[in-house]
Chains A and B, each alone.
Chain A
């Protein structure tokens, strides 16, 4: 293992190594879930089955740029 370089110089809170790594993992799963729900919403829209919860203002956005709240689980 090398130097501890997790912290940006500006960050005053210690995110904690274990918390940092776990967060990356959990967020990857949740991000994938969110992306799937976004795309699924769009596929349904394309085939004319509008789901009002999953409407986005700009359907050409990539999910990465979406800041709208997705539907709740």
Chain B
């Protein structure tokens, strides 16, 4: 791997090419080693078909010079994706949609005489609200009789986490953060309940697959002794079965922390309408291109941004809230909303080789504006974070901030303080204004109707 900082840390394993940046623009070098497959992707009509179906990222042929002329065949410029997200930040439905997109792409590729040579979940990004393959160099010529090289990767990146989330515990999706090449199948097999062995598909793709890996782990297999080849019908049968297995895994978002937040929160109708007016006022004032809504719940307020065509990322710690937001956004065909699971007290770190393969949350900042509604009391009182520390963190994320201060008198805070000693002397409006005043200028402070709460419209000073 090159240590050239222009070369991106996420693409170095595949010798077909890699991503690099020049003058603030993102390019992908196609290596000569990949020339035949790249040309086939275009001449077979597969590229056009997939791009028109919204399954593959569009690119333009760039006249830019190759990053490494000794290797380069072409340089392409892919359409930029506003926010790069990772499988450990997706809700169940998002990972499932990404899996189904991968299989649909593979099926269409086979019909055009090509095949996916990898099936990494990291090759899928949510773009305009839909899962899209961003690695244009993932295709190779299909060779009759050859099995799918990416089968193991598909099971580890998609099937194992989905099965664990559906059958064992939704939180096990977080294992993807630990295992960067997908969940080891022996681990998935051990964690899944026995009943999953009664399903032919889960038994085969996960349990027997794990056993077979274990059995052949230290054996060298001579292909000449393996007489069996995989016919095209078998290949299609496999892809179809993986798709129906993926579709049949379900998870119902219920019973987690915030699923019913909007029915138990303490705003009156008028109070809620007023809060929405203030959000609109803030968006008018800050005119952002990108918004991060922190603690977005099911995205009620994030929608006010996404409806304006602003690229909006709606973070929440609760996978049920994120799932509901994703389903709702999909049903509204909202092309600008990206709901993601994130614990702000422990945001996604930089991961992988050299800590450069997957970006931390802060690596992906700044946005133009941040919404932090009904959040600060959770950080300050629920997590003992001093207000100056909260203000400093927010100031790294965006130049504009709409933040809600919830005083101790508020019933939500009273509930949080009911079981603990109140050690928060500085948790009041003057303390809040002092802390945030270190980083921001207060443009407006608006007291919410029918409530003790205050909304601050802040601009970084």
Docked-complex contact B152 and A16, CB < 8 angstroms = yes
Instruction: Give the contacting residue for A31; candidates B13, B151, B222, B236; CB below 8 A.
Output: B236
Q: Does B216 contact A (CB under 8 A)?
A: yes
* Interface majority SS (helix, strand, loop, mixed), chain B: helix
Of the four ranges (under 10, 10 to 19, 20 to 34, 35 or more), the interface on chain A belongs to 35 or more
Knowing A18-B212, A34-B236, A73-B241 touch, does A23 contact B117 (C-beta < 8 A)? no
A24 proximity list for chain B (CB < 8 A): 147, 226, 228, 230
Knowing A13-B117, A13-B118, A17-B216 touch, does A73 contact B244 (C-beta < 8 A)? yes
B220 proximity list for chain A (CB < 8 A): 1-4, 17
B155 proximity list for chain A (CB < 8 A): 19
A15 proximity list for chain B (CB < 8 A): 147-152
Knowing A19-B152, A20-B147 touch, does A31 contact B226 (C-beta < 8 A)? no
B233 proximity list for chain A (CB < 8 A): 31, 34-35, 63-64, 66
B236 proximity list for chain A (CB < 8 A): 31, 34, 66-67, 70
Which residues from 20 to 59 on chain A have a C-beta closer than 8 Å to any C-beta of chain B? 20-24, 26-35
B222 proximity list for chain A (CB < 8 A): 1-5
B151 proximity list for chain A (CB < 8 A): 15, 19, 23
A33 proximity list for chain B (CB < 8 A): 237
Of listed A22, A69, A73, residue having the most chain B CB within 10 A: A22
Docked-complex contact B226 and A64, CB < 8 angstroms = no
Least CB distance, A37 to chain B, in whole angstroms: 9
A11 proximity list for chain B (CB < 8 A): 117, 149
Taken together as a complex, chains A and B put the C-alpha atoms of A65 and B144 apart, in Å, by 11
Number of inter-chain CB pairs below 8 Å? 142
Q: Does B15 contact A (CB under 8 A)?
A: yes
Q: Does B208 contact A (CB under 8 A)?
A: yes
Q: Does B49 contact A (CB under 8 A)?
A: no
Q: Does B368 contact A (CB under 8 A)?
A: no
Which residue from chain A places its CB closest to the CB of B118 in the assembled complex?
A13
Taken together as a complex, chains A and B put the C-alpha atoms of A17 and B213 apart, in Å, by 7
B208 proximity list for chain A (CB < 8 A): 22, 26
Q: Which 5 A-B pairs have the closest CB atoms?
A: A31-B234, A30-B237, A18-B213, A19-B152, A34-B237
Of listed A5, A23, A35, A70, residue having the most chain B CB within 10 A: A23
Least CB distance, A53 to chain B, in whole angstroms: 13
Instruction: Give the contacting residue for A27; candidates B16, B147, B219; CB below 8 A.
Output: B147
Contacts A12-B15, A17-B217, A30-B241 aside, 15 further interface pairs with beta carbons under 8 A come to A2-B224, A8-B146, A10-B117, A13-B153, A15-B152, A16-B213, A19-B209, A23-B147, A24-B230, A26-B208, A26-B241, A27-B147, A27-B235, A31-B233, A66-B233
A31 proximity list for chain B (CB < 8 A): 230-231, 233-238
Interface on A for B, CB 8 Å cutoff?
1-6, 8, 10-13, 15-24, 26-35, 63-67, 69-70, 72-73
Docked-complex contact B244 and A18, CB < 8 angstroms = no
Docked-complex contact A20 and B15, CB < 8 angstroms = no
Docked-complex contact B147 and A64, CB < 8 angstroms = no
Taken together as a complex, chains A and B put the C-alpha atoms of A22 and B216 apart, in Å, by 10
A-B contact pairs, 13 of them (CB 8 A): A1-B222, A5-B223, A12-B16, A12-B117, A15-B147, A18-B213, A20-B147, A24-B226, A30-B240, A31-B238, A34-B234, A64-B231, A72-B244
Which residues from 1 to 26 on chain B have a C-beta closer than 8 Å to any C-beta of chain A? 13-16
Least CB distance, B26 to chain A, in whole angstroms: 22
Q: Does B378 contact A (CB under 8 A)?
A: no
Which residue from chain B places its CB closest to the CB of A34 in the assembled complex?
B237
Docked-complex contact B237 and A27, CB < 8 angstroms = yes
B223 proximity list for chain A (CB < 8 A): 5-6
Q: Does B266 contact A (CB under 8 A)?
A: no
Q: Does B214 contact A (CB under 8 A)?
A: yes
Least CB distance, A16 to chain B, in whole angstroms: 5
Q: Does B335 contact A (CB under 8 A)?
A: no
Which residue from chain B places its CB closest to the CB of A30 in the assembled complex?
B237
A12 proximity list for chain B (CB < 8 A): 13-16, 117-118
Instruction: Give the contacting residue for A21; candidates B13, B214, B221; CB below 8 A.
Output: B221
Docked-complex contact A27 and B212, CB < 8 angstroms = no
Q: Does B439 contact A (CB under 8 A)?
A: no
